[in-house]
Structure 1
Amino acid sequence: MGEESEVPVNGQAFEETWRVRISLSDGGMLGAGILLGVDTVLTCAHVIPWDGGPEPDVEVLAELVGVAGAEPVRARVAAGCWVPELADSRGDVALLKLAEPQHARHVAPLHRMAPSPGRTVRMFGHPDTPGLRDGVYFWATIDGPCGPRGEWVQLSPRSPAETVRPGFSGAAVTDAETHRVLGMVVSRYDDRTADAPAGERLHLSYMIPIETIVRHLPQIEGHVGGRPGNELPSVPRDAPLDREFARWLARWFRAVEGTRRVEAIVIKKGEAARSATLSRAVAFADRELTPEGPENPAPPPAPHPAPHLAPAPDNPRRTPAHNGTPHPCAPGPPHDTDSTVPPVGSVDLALDVSGATVAQVADRVADRLGLRSGDGRTVGRFGGIRSVPLTVVAEGVDYAEDPVALVEFTDLLAARGARLLLVFRNPDSQSLELALSMADPSKDEITARLDRVRDRIEHIARRERTAYDRAALIAPVRPVPQEAAGLRLDLTRLRADPDPAGRRFPPRLAAFESAVESGLLRVEEAIGVAEAGIARRDELRGRLEAFFALLASRSLEEEQAAAPLYRAAHNLLYRAPCELAEAEGAVERFAEAVRRHTHRPRRGDLP
């Protein structure tokens, strides 16, 4: 891939004159930054000392360490360009305004480019270590999306010694082939658990990709090269949603077991809900854009340490200690588990290819890979490329200039590892038939998927029995979804399809797999409701026994006086089904009686 990359050997991008060192006026090292415009520097918010106010009011020094003879320049956080680390660790980006403008030739070549696994990158930071304050290069390999809601990208350092450290936050992550800036260093992880063998401990670094930074700081968009990865139309929050289709899309973007690398689906003209659902899923999967309006309110900023008056580690929330600090790749907040929402970063390119030529589509794919494009030879170059690690959505394939040729080109991409969702509008188009024939799974794969569905249905049957058992313990007894029996019949009909190799069968199988997952969700929801009631019952049982223990320290006469109330509450709590409201009232009546007794002096304690 490297020989086809755009590498400006003698340009300012190669010289990296945009590297910035950020420090305090007393010499204390804070971190790194990236020169975007003549008077603008991008960095991490946690690099800048902050007292918790609306925005930091501290003056720092920014120095272009890649420019010979450059003097430190005073800088402050630019108005409206401060996104501190949120409670779930998202955000953490900021822009600094320089007091003196720099030459435009020194600005960084920021570029939208897919952070493809296996790509080699380098970083230049300023550790507060003798001999390294002027900066040091570290090298790493991109692993894939990670961190808070998938906003970060995990990097494996070339050696444990090259794991980023304090002084690298805010540093540019530069692609080794194109010398373009793909992201910014944000965090690190060291596996310091005592029981991990030294040779097996994790040493990881993390970056925020440029497109995620644009999401938080749209002010920098004019400094970023490359076209956005998502070109599908935006959809408002109140657009119609096909939930079954949304769940299927989310599963496909997550690449869960049973989904295929290449899918060909039909969304007819006029199917507004399905079309909006696709655009919504792609927007959630894209790093830069989201559906209009906040679906989940952003959590408040995390508490920030006091201003660093001397060299100090990056935000301590980011560097795990020996006490089991969560790995940055740990699951996010509960609302991230919405089954209709795909992970951030799970799509690399989404295009409406209506009217497009194969060459135009190839140019867009090449741009996302960091390859030269637009010279009329892009399509041919893909024959010599060994890997295309992208997830691509192409809508309107059968309305392209040459649909059959476009499908053949996507088959070439699939053979090199791309995941493809091909969307057609006409169910009878010749190009759809070709796509289905290329995407059709083998007979063995169909059998394996049917077997997985069968096992999933049996799991639903087991969970239904659990739901019945748990729901029967709490009144009013709620009905439990009866999914398994009907799904078994549907599976039998599906297995009896006379033409499992036909083009109609894969969409039917995919729809059935989605229906099975939806059925499981409904059963799990019923179990969750029952478990919540059981948890409340157990809480009341504990409360009852706690007050009984208080009463036991009183006289036998007092204990006997309250005994009927205790028995009444006990009987309600240990009866199945348990009437929670009635039991709660009985426990409270007993508790009140105990309070009256326990607030009276004991016999023998009277004066």
Structure 2
Amino acid sequence: MTPQSEGAFPPDARVCSAPMGEETEVPVNTEMRGETWRVRISTSGGDVLGAGILLAADAVLTCAHVIPAGPCDPDPRTPGPRAPGSRDPHAPASPAAPAGEVLVELVGVPGARAVPARVADGCWVPELEDSRGDVALLTLAEPQDVRHAAPLHRVAPTRGRTVWMCGFPSTRELKDGVWFRATLAGPSGPRGEWVQMFPVTPEETVRPGFSGAAVTDAETHRVLGMVVSRYDDRSSAAPADQRLHLSYMIPIETVVRHLPVIARYVSGERGNGLPSVPRSAARDRDFARWLARWFAGEEGTRRMEAIVIKKGEAVRSATLSRAVALADRELPADAPDPAGATASPPPHLPPPHLPPHLPPQRPDPRPPPRANGTSRRPPPPYETEDDVLPPLGSVDLALDVSGETVARVAERVADRLGLRAADGEGSAVGRLGAARSVPLTIVAEGVDYAVAPLALVEFTGLLAARGARLLLVFRNPESQSLELALRMADPAKDDIAARLDRVREGIDNIARRERTAFEKTALIAPVPPVPQRAAALRLDLTALRKHPEPGGGRFLTDLGAFERTVQSALMRIEEVIGLAEARIARRNELRGRLEAFFALLAARSLEEERAAAPLYRTAHNLLYQAPCELTEAERAVERFADAVRHHTHRPRGGDA
């Protein structure tokens, strides 16, 4: 986008002109004053250009179109969220990064003053011909307190999530910012790079002064994205109060895709945990087409699928990894890990499938520029056929679950969904069990090589019941967990006998997991008591099989209720196992800490070793008894550590 398109919106994008008293804007107040990362960007003359997000002491993220490109540009005093497809046709196709300075001010920090800033070297990604990109990183002339930096986090931008954003309209009374509310709707914009937001009221559609503003999750207070665009429907014949008023954001992961250098400021594990494959790797095109259809959720696809990729089937495995990479918001299919990446222009992607309200644009035959203005040869397109290209963002989480526990997988799912534990208590299994919905698309590879494959399949069934779409990948076609997954995924096999058999298998699995829970909870304390439901559930199943109306409406109602009871019982036992495993891991960590401090003490004199020996024996005994009283053991290890610190900071006998 160019400054011209911001100062003069095209016919379908307008700035609301109602008097301020008639708008339902939310003035800045104490409720959100903790957002110290909010940045106002202005010209040297004090005219507001837009907003930004403080990422580090000297780094601010914003939209590229917020920064005026030079003195020859149209008046930049009212730049704001651009309308989709509103690129200035007379603007240079590949402008170099602006060299001028802007003023940056932390409006959320009392007493903060404006400081000069300019585009960081190699961190300028202007709007491309198809409207992708439009991100920039600024370097501040004077570093700020790093404690004010934003908590960026990788979270799937799921539908219905409530968000806040604060921008800086040109109205004098709102120069210090105004809050708008919205709910996330779903992928939109160029090749799905954006996420559409429904304003809570039409007046809360973003406007000039909001570009670059942080989009903050109302529940977790983490920054999920950045405001980029708006849409006002002026051509519709519908009444004004029924016309579309939409806002758009760029998710943080998409920003990382264009500016890999900011990955260091983003918390949370990447959504794609499958191995990368080179672009030239052989792939199964029929399989790739099926994956693209399933990721897109096309008609005729099922919410849960179980497939087999045997060990040694390198082509099918590479096809899956590549499809997931193409659907990932953060990384191109063959990009290096962000940890080792330097700032560089994004790859040249194929033209997107634009929503109906976005006008089609001709692809630019020229190669995209480098950040310093020089050109480079574009890499070949990802695919030559659209039917093997999955939509961007169509996979929320992809994991290799071989060797993983249910608790660990649940932690990854909960983190991706943005569910946080309160004060460190509770497990991810419990948080997901309490969640009303889990609107994620998940790929799990190596399910039959997990620590407890049957328990993991049952757990994925619980996620599916809460709205998740799941692709379960197995390696052994004869595995028992695959048979269970196929029966869960195939509605044609879900007759009454099959449902009763599935319930019986679920109860048998609960019995096995109860034994596992007893084994683990015997090692550690405190832990919740182990639920003992398997025996009672078996009796209930026997009674259900003798129902007086088998196959009738009442029977089906009772069967459905019993299925939910079995699922809840499994959820509770998995929660206990997860808590026990976390505490066992803490115990093992304390054992290592104890031995590390003992090694420090070993270099001291014999007298000093004897003085600290009772403390070491106490901590050792607590850590190696069963059950290990974790709280007492932690205190004992810390007492020994304090004693070692006291001795190791004293001079040796001969040096006194």
Equivalent position of 2:412 in the other structure:
364
| Cα gap change, 1:396 to 1:329, in 2 (>3 Å) | farther
Query: Do structure 1's residue 327 and structure 2's residue 357 form an aligned pair?
Result: yes
- Given residue 93 of structure 1, which amino acid in structure 2 is its aligned partner? V
Q: Distance in 1 between matches of 2:475 and 2:444?
A: 12
Structure 1 residue 416, shift from structure 2 partner: 0.1
Q: How does 1:373-384 map to 2 (within 5 A)?
A: 377-384=427-434
Equivalent position of 1:577 in the other structure:
none
Equivalent position of 1:441 in the other structure:
491
The alignment's TM-score, normalised by the length of structure 1, stands at 0.65
Equivalent position of 1:415 in the other structure:
465
Q: Distance in 2 between matches of 1:326 and 1:80?
A: 34
SS in 1 for 2:172: coil
Equivalent position of 2:395 in the other structure:
347
Task: Please say if residues 189 and 328 of structure 1, whose CA atoms lie closer than 8 Å, have aligned partners that are also in contact.
Answer: no
Task: Please say if residues 232 and 352 of structure 1, whose CA atoms lie closer than 8 Å, have aligned partners that are also in contact.
Answer: yes
Query: Do structure 1's residue 251 and structure 2's residue 293 form an aligned pair?
Result: yes
Task: Please say if residues 237 and 293 of structure 1, whose CA atoms lie closer than 8 Å, have aligned partners that are also in contact.
Answer: no
Query: Do structure 1's residue 50 and structure 2's residue 73 form an aligned pair?
Result: no
| Cα gap change, 1:14 to 1:353, in 2 (>3 Å) | farther
Equivalent position of 1:63 in the other structure:
105
Task: Please say if residues 263 and 439 of structure 1, whose CA atoms lie closer than 8 Å, have aligned partners that are also in contact.
Answer: yes
Task: Please say if residues 42 and 93 of structure 1, whose CA atoms lie closer than 8 Å, have aligned partners that are also in contact.
Answer: yes
Structure 1: any 5+ residue segments left out of the alignment? 1-10, 302-317, 319-324, 446-607
- Given residue 209 of structure 1, which amino acid in structure 2 is its aligned partner? P
Q: Distance in 1 between matches of 2:69 and 2:125?
A: 12
Equivalent position of 2:453 in the other structure:
403
| Cα gap change, 1:111 to 1:330, in 2 (>3 Å) | farther
Q: Distance in 2 between matches of 1:300 and 1:228?
A: 24
Q: Distance in 2 between matches of 1:365 and 1:15?
A: 28
Equivalent position of 2:88 in the other structure:
none
Structure 1 residue 58, shift from structure 2 partner: 1.3
Structure 1 residue 298, shift from structure 2 partner: 1.8
Deviations 1:521-569 (A, max 9, x none): xxxxxxxxxxxxxxxxxxxxxxxxxxxxxxxxxxxxxxxxxxxxxxxxx
Query: Do structure 1's residue 130 and structure 2's residue 172 form an aligned pair?
Result: yes
Deviations 1:22-64 (A, max 9, x none): 0001111100000000000000000000145421011100000
Task: Please say if residues 87 and 299 of structure 1, whose CA atoms lie closer than 8 Å, have aligned partners that are also in contact.
Answer: no
Q: Distance in 1 between matches of 2:267 and 2:236?
A: 45
Q: Distance in 2 between matches of 1:343 and 1:300?
A: 12
Tell me how large the CA RMSD over aligned residues is. Answer: 2.6
- Given residue 491 of structure 2, which amino acid in structure 1 is its aligned partner? P
Which of 202, 207, 218 in structure 2 is aligned with 1:165?
207
Structure 1 residue 292, shift from structure 2 partner: 1.5
| Cα gap change, 1:205 to 1:332, in 2 (>3 Å) | farther
Q: Distance in 1 between matches of 2:65 and 2:283?
A: 38
Task: Please say if residues 13 and 109 of structure 1, whose CA atoms lie closer than 8 Å, have aligned partners that are also in contact.
Answer: no
Equivalent position of 2:513 in the other structure:
none
Deviations 1:230-255 (A, max 9, x none): 00000100111100000000000000
Which of 218, 230, 242 in structure 2 is aligned with 1:176?
218
Structure 2: any 5+ residue segments left out of the alignment? 1-29, 71-91, 337-345, 364-380, 496-656
| Cα gap change, 1:378 to 1:235, in 2 (>3 Å) | same
Deviations 1:311-353 (A, max 9, x none): xxxxxxx9xxxxxx97249799798961111000001000000
Deviations 1:134-187 (A, max 9, x none): 100000000011100010000000000000001000000000000000000000
Structure 1 residue 197, shift from structure 2 partner: 2.5
Task: Please say if residues 88 and 299 of structure 1, whose CA atoms lie closer than 8 Å, have aligned partners that are also in contact.
Answer: no
Deviations 1:192-245 (A, max 9, x none): 015233232100000000000001101111110101000000010011110000
Q: Distance in 2 between matches of 1:127 and 1:346?
A: 34
| Cα gap change, 1:355 to 1:375, in 2 (>3 Å) | farther
Task: Please say if residues 162 and 182 of structure 2, whose CA atoms lie closer than 8 Å, have aligned partners that are also in contact.
Answer: yes
Task: Please say if residues 220 and 420 of structure 2, whose CA atoms lie closer than 8 Å, have aligned partners that are also in contact.
Answer: no
Query: Do structure 1's residue 387 and structure 2's residue 465 form an aligned pair?
Result: no
Q: Distance in 2 between matches of 1:331 and 1:74?
A: 36
Q: Distance in 2 between matches of 1:75 and 1:163?
A: 28
Q: Distance in 1 between matches of 2:185 and 2:134?
A: 21
Equivalent position of 2:123 in the other structure:
81
Equivalent position of 1:304 in the other structure:
none
| Cα gap change, 1:336 to 1:15, in 2 (>3 Å) | farther
Task: Please say if residues 149 and 336 of structure 1, whose CA atoms lie closer than 8 Å, have aligned partners that are also in contact.
Answer: no
Structure 1 residue 300, shift from structure 2 partner: 12
Task: Please say if residues 264 and 439 of structure 1, whose CA atoms lie closer than 8 Å, have aligned partners that are also in contact.
Answer: yes
Query: Do structure 1's residue 265 and structure 2's residue 313 form an aligned pair?
Result: no
- Given residue 377 of structure 1, which amino acid in structure 2 is its aligned partner? S
Equivalent position of 2:552 in the other structure:
none
SS in 2 for 1:78: strand
Equivalent position of 2:152 in the other structure:
110
SS in 1 for 2:387: coil
Q: How does 1:197-208 map to 2 (within 5 A)?
A: 197-208=239-250
Query: Runs of 4+ in structure 1 displaced over 6 angstroms?
Result: 11-14, 329-337
Paired-residue identity, %: 72
Equivalent position of 2:194 in the other structure:
152
Q: Distance in 1 between matches of 2:360 and 2:246?
A: 14
Which of 299, 317, 342 in structure 2 is aligned with 1:275?
317
Deviations 1:342-371 (A, max 9, x none): 000001000000000000000000001111
Alignment length (residue pairs): 412
Task: Please say if residues 419 and 431 of structure 2, whose CA atoms lie closer than 8 Å, have aligned partners that are also in contact.
Answer: no
- Given residue 418 of structure 1, which amino acid in structure 2 is its aligned partner? A
